[in-house]
Structure 1
Amino acid sequence: MKTTAPRDQSRFAPDTASNGSVSPKNLLIAVDDSNATTRALQYVGRLLRETPNVSITLFHVLNPMPRELMEHGGSENPDMEHQLGEQLRKDQQEWMHMEETLEYPILERALERLRDTGFPTDRVTLKLGYAGDVVDTILDEVRSGGYGTLVVTRHGPPGAARLFSSSIADRLSRDLSGIALWVIE
């Protein structure tokens, strides 16, 4: 099983063809902690567990950084400006570390669900995404990772904030080109 620990997401980046094109057997599954994600993992795992050379990246997008950590108030004094900048970077790093620690178990649970289907875990990579916009983060990962297929769910848990709502799936289908999109309900 290939996994990336928080803070080292690039080590196991999916392979692209030598000409930079996408690989049809390289799947990105966007995951959250919903029952819909569990169903998607079960479907994909059972469907592809015996298909040779299929690799899967389980991808979870972290919550956006709080607004107060995006920039400091600034100062006319260059020394104070430097101190404020250093403190802001430190606060951002602490927030990222805490967020990674809180959110990484979502990837581990997704891996367990995929493993339960019989899909070989040595062909699975875990990866966190960092950005304020879920769709843009997923699209950036798809484009840079050489994925041939993106798998998302349309519905999250009832009554909860939905990571992969209909509007997100619709936006992905509109903005994604040259990649297969599986929207699993």
Structure 2
Amino acid sequence: MMTDKTRKKMLLAVDGSENSLEIIRYVAKIPPFREMQLVLLNVHSKIPEAYWDLEKNSSVNWRMSEARAWDKERQKAIEVYMQKAEKILWRAGFPKECVTVKIQNRKRGFARDIAREAEREYDGVLVGRKGMSNVKDLVLGSIATKLIGKVSFVPILVVGKKPQAGSVLVALDGSENAMRAVDYAGKVLGGADFDARFIHVIRDDNPEYANERKMQMNGVFDDAKDVLSGAGFDPERITTKIITGARSRAVAIAQEARDGGYGTIVVGRRGLSRVKDFLMGRVSDKLITLSKNHAVWVVN
């Protein structure tokens, strides 16, 4: 029997919006998450205590009374929201003792506060593409981008709108970081009834270079297959694909995910280059922008 110490621990950052409930629904659809310890974190802004001193000023007293009432309503709404999130997980078969709710006031900033919490030995942080606002890349969308930039010690799982469960697309480029992404996918999804595809994108359409690269990737694919098979994936349901002459790696990967019905995309934070935010690092950023209806896992 799995104990709290042996369970993987995932941090789910939710902001009280319908958009961020997609994180909860996504996790609820993937059986291996039921064996993990989940922490539902909400960071919200309270009216600074210094403002309460303004109540002594009769000219603004009525405004502050309104603010106090709003603050209480907001707190109650968050509590109701978190209860709703818990119920979604419970109904999906998650043990109640494995779901923890944490509500805290904003201290240093939404992204910084989430990052600070992530330092407490989590195996992954799940965040939405969008949050309270439906405006593209606003609120939690920008938080996801900031977290990927700030948090390099734990994988960031960015969840879009209603990603499908049951299949995973893993981007490979032959780097150690990409293989760590394969290992992470195996450890998190191993034993699930999932199809898996490894994809490698070659931008150069030179036949000689493409053939040479394909030969190199055959061994990489074999090693990656062994990792997933060893983690519990059915070897017969693991496939590979190489795309050549692509103008953009991110576009090619996102298109493959859409065409193949892969709800989850796994990519390394960086690839063959050690330069920060180069190659696979840039690919992960672009993938999050392009993959509106997918979950993109950015693995360190």
Please give the alpha-carbon distance, in whole angstroms, between the structure 2 residues aligned to 1:96 and 1:38: 21
The question of 1:145 aligning with 2:260 is answered: yes
For 2:168, the equivalent position in structure 1 comes to 27
Q: 2:271 is matched with which residue: 134, 156, 167?
A: 156
For 1:128, the equivalent position in structure 2 comes to 242
C-alpha contact (below 8 Å) 2:194/2:233 kept by paired residues: no
1:95 Cα deviation (Å)? 5.5
Report matched runs for 1:29-178 at 5 Å.
Answer: 29-51=170-192, 53-66=193-206, 92=207, 96-130=210-244, 131-157=246-272, 159=274, 163-165=279-281, 167-178=282-293
For 1:4, the equivalent position in structure 2 comes to none
1:63 Cα deviation (Å)? 4.2
TM-score, structure 1 as length reference = 0.63
TM-score, structure 2 as length reference = 0.41
Say which structure, 1 or 2, has more relative contact order (CA 8 Å, 6+ apart): 1
Q: Summarize the Cα distance change of 1:39–1:97 in structure 2 as closer, same or farther, 3 Å threshold.
A: closer
SS of equivalent to 2:169: strand
Q: Residues 26-59 of structure 1, C-alpha deviation per residue, up to 9 Å, x if partnerless?
A: 11111121222222211211222212x2111111
Q: Residues 98-136 of structure 1, C-alpha deviation per residue, up to 9 Å, x if partnerless?
A: 443343332222212323334321221111122232111
SS of equivalent to 2:280: coil
Q: Which runs of 5+ in 2 are unaligned?
A: 1-161
SS of equivalent to 1:144: helix
Q: Summarize the Cα distance change of 1:43–1:96 in structure 2 as closer, same or farther, 3 Å threshold.
A: closer
Greater C-alpha Rg: 2
Please give the alpha-carbon distance, in whole angstroms, between the structure 2 residues aligned to 1:118 and 1:150: 18
Identity of aligned residues (%): 28
